[in-house]
Amino acid sequence: MRILGLDPGLRLTGYGLVQVRTVSALPELVDAGVIRLDVKATIASRLDELERELVSLIDELKPDTAAVETLYAHYAHPRTAILMGHARGVLLLVAQRKGLAIHEFAANRIKQAISGHGHASKVQMQRAVQSLFRLAKPPEPPDVADALAVALCCAQHTLSIRRLPGANK
C-alpha cells in the first residue's frame, strides 16, 4: 500500500509518500517534498496551481491512499484556518477525483502516533520523523515532516501497526 500524506498550505504544501509492504514491516520512505506556490499570485491562482501540481504528483507517485490532517480552527487564528481550508479542499477534491481512499486524522492523534506526545512541537515532529526513517538530518521544511507524519499515522491506523518504534521518545 502506498500512502500519500499531505500538509496543506497556500505557500508550501508538504507531501510524503510511504509504502507498506506487509503489516509487520515498517513503512518505507518513497518520496517527500513540497509543492511551492507563487505567494505573489491571488489565492484563486494558487489554488489552481496547487490542483495542477497535485494531479501531476499523484500521476507520478501512484499512491493508493491520501491522508490529511482534519481542519482545526483555533479561535485566535480563524483567518489562518479558513485559508488552510481552501488548500485542504483542493487536496481532498483531487484525491477524490483520482479515486484514492482518503483518511483524515486530528493533529493531536498524528503527533501522538509519531512522537508519543499529542502536543509535540514542530521540532519534535521533525526529529521523530528523522528517527523513524533513520535520516541524516530532520526533514526540511517542517511541512515535509508534517506530511510524512500524516502518512505514518495513516499506515499505523489502517494497517493496525501497533506502535511505531521511537514513538515514545
pTM of the model: 0.91
**146 is annotated as an active-site residue:** no
Catalytic residue of the set 7, 31, 59, 104 = 7
pLDDT at 160 over 80: no
- Whether 167 is in a domain gets the answer no
Catalytic residue of the set 51, 64, 69, 140 = 69
Domain with 146 in it: 2-158
pLDDT, tens digit (0-9, with 9 covering 90-100), for 128-143: 999 999 999 999 999 9
Kindly report the CATH number assigned to the domain that includes residue 121.
3.30.420.10
Q: How sure is the predictor about 22, in pLDDT bands with cuts at 50, 70 and 90?
A: confident
DSSP character string of the chain: -EEEEEE--SSEEEEEEEE-SSTTSPPEEEEEEEEE--TTS-HHHHHHHHHHHHHHHHHHH--SEEEEEPP---TT-HHHHHHHHHHHHHHHHHHHHTT-EEEEE-HHHHHHHHHS-TT--HHHHHHHHHHHHT-SS--SSHHHHHHHHHHHHHHHHHTT----TTTT-
Print burial letters for 144-165: b (CB count within 10 Å at least 16), e (below 16). Answer: bbbbbbbbbbbbbebeebeebe
- Whether 54 is in a domain gets the answer yes
pLDDT, tens digit (0-9, with 9 covering 90-100), for 84-134: 899 999 999 999 999 999 999 999 999 999 998 888 999 999 999 999 999
pLDDT, tens digit (0-9, with 9 covering 90-100), for 45-95: 999 999 999 999 999 999 999 999 998 766 677 787 888 899 999 999 999
- Whether 22 is in a domain gets the answer yes
Q: How many domains does the chain have?
A: 1
Catalytic residue of the set 53, 60, 140, 143 = 143
**69 is annotated as an active-site residue:** yes
- Whether 164 is in a domain gets the answer no
**7 is annotated as an active-site residue:** yes
- Whether 8 is in a domain gets the answer yes
CA 78 to chain centroid, in Å, comes to 21
- Whether 80 is in a domain gets the answer yes
